[in-house]
Amino acid sequence: MKIVGGPSSKELAKKISTLLNTSLALIKTKRFPDGEFYFKFDEDVSRDELLIVQSLYPPQDSHLLELFLILHTARDLGAKRIKVFIPYLAYSRQDRRYLEGECLSSRMISEILENLGADSLYTIDVHNRRVLSMYKIPTYNLTASRELARYFTAKNLVDPIVISPDDEEIAIERAKCAAETINAEYDFLEKRRDRYTGEIVTYEKQINVKGRDAIIIDDIISTGKTAANAVRILKKQGAKRVFVGVSHALLLGEAVKVLNEAGVEEIAGTDSVINKYAKVSVASILVEALKKEHQS
């Protein structure tokens, strides 16, 4: 198998190729003066098994088009099998029409990836599992919760407790998974978002955090409001330190400021999004999944 490192995930692709002891495909990429993307394989990939690595963090539309061009080229040149690893699968919010007349973005992405020739898809902590059920090809939703929890164990945690800032089943599962990894308790807060205004309300509930370190585990930080609400509630209830571990640290606009003002101790994200908060790599998570699949 050869690894193809898309422009958004070059370093991650390198890490994966090192862990798998396989080569990185030789490629050339550039942008034309008008901004259009150019891609070229610099070696023969016909009959090869390829793993394309490209995360879809902002600018997600550019990253998507890069992925489409790489995938199309690989299939067109006769690659035998193409696995796609998209750590952050953008456009995972619109899996159905929540309001009449809305677009079905997730379905469109699934149709394009399949039509372009992806044979299987791997992702990390997809925002909504229903998104993956739209695919006809095999899909694998992996989690970074364990690695994020392990990252915080180096902080001399005091009687840690893991908190989901949201009461969605998938969010509570992530918190549970993180808690089990470090033998900690877990709990969750209830959050509601207004579909029209985007406003978030987190309901205060008594959690036994007094004098303890809390780790909030979430899939995405976008505006930072969900995590900040949780940090504020936990600090108000006497938590010693509140850490935030997030699979996809988009941290848009004032998100970091909002979190700092709420009293966050540290934010740790993964290399699904490239920024200074990418403290945990998802490379080993994918490699483990590929090995498991190979054994079965």
Per the rule left: phi > 0, alpha: psi between -120 and 50, beta: everything else, 40 is beta
Q: Pick between residue 63 and residue 191 the one whose CB is nearest to ligand R5P.
A: 191
Nearest distance in Å: CB 25, ligand R5P? 33
Asked if 191 is an active-site residue, the reply is yes
Q: Which of residues 152-211 bind ligand R5P (CB under 6 A)?
A: 165-166, 171, 200
Catalytic position from the list 2, 83, 191, 225: 191
Phi, then psi, of 271 in degrees rounded to 5: -80, 20
Nearest distance in Å: CB 248, ligand R5P? 9
Q: Which of residues 94-113 bind ligand R5P (CB under 6 A)?
A: none
Q: Pick between residue 63 and residue 225 the one whose CB is nearest to ligand R5P.
A: 225
d(CA 127, CA 92): 6
Q: How many residues bind ligand R5P (CB under 6 A)?
A: 13
Q: Which of residues 200-259 bind ligand R5P (CB under 6 A)?
A: 200, 218-226
Q: Which spans in the chain are helix H? A: 10-20, 60-76, 105-116, 129-132, 145-152, 169-181, 225-236, 255-262, 283-295
Q: Pick between residue 282 and residue 290 the one whose CB is nearest to ligand R5P.
A: 282
CB atoms within 10 A of CB 158: 11
- CB environment 184-202: b (16+ within 10 A), e (fewer): bebbbbebeeeeeeeebeb
Nearest distance in Å: CB 9, ligand R5P? 21
> Alpha carbon 179 to chain centroid distance?
19
∠ CA 23-249-8, nearest 5°, is 35
Q: Pick between residue 76 and residue 254 the one whose CB is nearest to ligand R5P.
A: 254
Nearest distance in Å: CB 157, ligand R5P? 23
SS3 164: strand
Q: Pick between residue 83 and residue 232 the one whose CB is nearest to ligand R5P.
A: 232
Nearest distance in Å: CB 274, ligand R5P? 18
End-to-end CA distance of the chain: give it in Å, rounded.
18
Q: Which residue ranges make up the site for ligand R5P (CB under 6 A)?
A: 165-166, 171, 200, 218-226
Active site residues: 191
